[in-house]
């Protein structure tokens, strides 16, 4: 029996976006671990972080390079927000319905999240992001990722 196709792959195929499906052990949960498993630079493997707005506003999905840390003050300034905070692991999983290490903006397109992409991605031709489940990532052109997700390009790391 074939494995169920992730929503992210369905989205890319529906929009005729070229991609490469990459697999690695599902025990790897960090972008740096994925980069090592796939033999790629950590700056090309993007992690998707869940960021909370104060007072119950809709959370954000923020994609940043695997070798960088999220700068919440810089992100808040870019979005015109007073304060933002990282969602705890259990909150990120509850809000997205996906496991940490497998959160994907492509898998959550119709869930009302505002999606942000760190500006550093614009210096790359392709990035690798989660396909929406641990052990599976997608390599695709930065321009396609930004277009399909309608990501806001921000300074976030």
Residues 6 or more apart whose CB falls under 8 angstroms from that of 101 comprise 28, 29, 30, 130, 134
In this structure, are residues 38 and 47 in contact, taking their beta carbons and an 8 Å threshold?
A: no
- 19-154 in CATH: which number? 3.90.960.10
List, for residues 125-143, the tens digit of each pLDDT value. 999 999 999 999 999 999 9
- Along the 157 residues of the chain, how does pLDDT read in single tens digits? 345 788 999 999 999 999 999 999 989 888 999 999 999 999 999 999 999 998 778 899 999 999 999 999 999 999 999 999 999 999 999 999 999 989 999 999 989 899 999 999 999 999 999 999 999 999 999 999 999 999 999 999 9
């Amino acid at each position: 029996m074939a494995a169920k196709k992730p929503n992210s792959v369905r989205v890319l195929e529906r929009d005729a976006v070229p991609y490469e499906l990459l697999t690695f052990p599902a025990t790897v949960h960090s972008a740096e671990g994925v980069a090592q498993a796939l033999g790629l630079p950590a700056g090309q493997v993007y992690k998707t972080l869940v960021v909370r707005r104060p007072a119950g506003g809709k959370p954000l999905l923020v994609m940043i390079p695997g070798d960088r840390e999220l700068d919440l003050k810089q992100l808040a300034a870019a979005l015109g927000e007073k304060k933002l905070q990282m969602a705890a692991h259990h909150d990120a999983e509850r809000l997205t319905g996906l496991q940490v290490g497998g959160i994907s903006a492509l898998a959550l397109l119709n869930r009302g999240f505002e999606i942000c992409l760190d500006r550093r991605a614009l210096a790359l031709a392709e990035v690798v992001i989660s396909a929406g489940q641990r052990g599976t990532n997608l390599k695709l052109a930065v321009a396609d990722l930004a277009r399909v997700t309608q990501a806001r390009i921000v300074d976030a790391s």
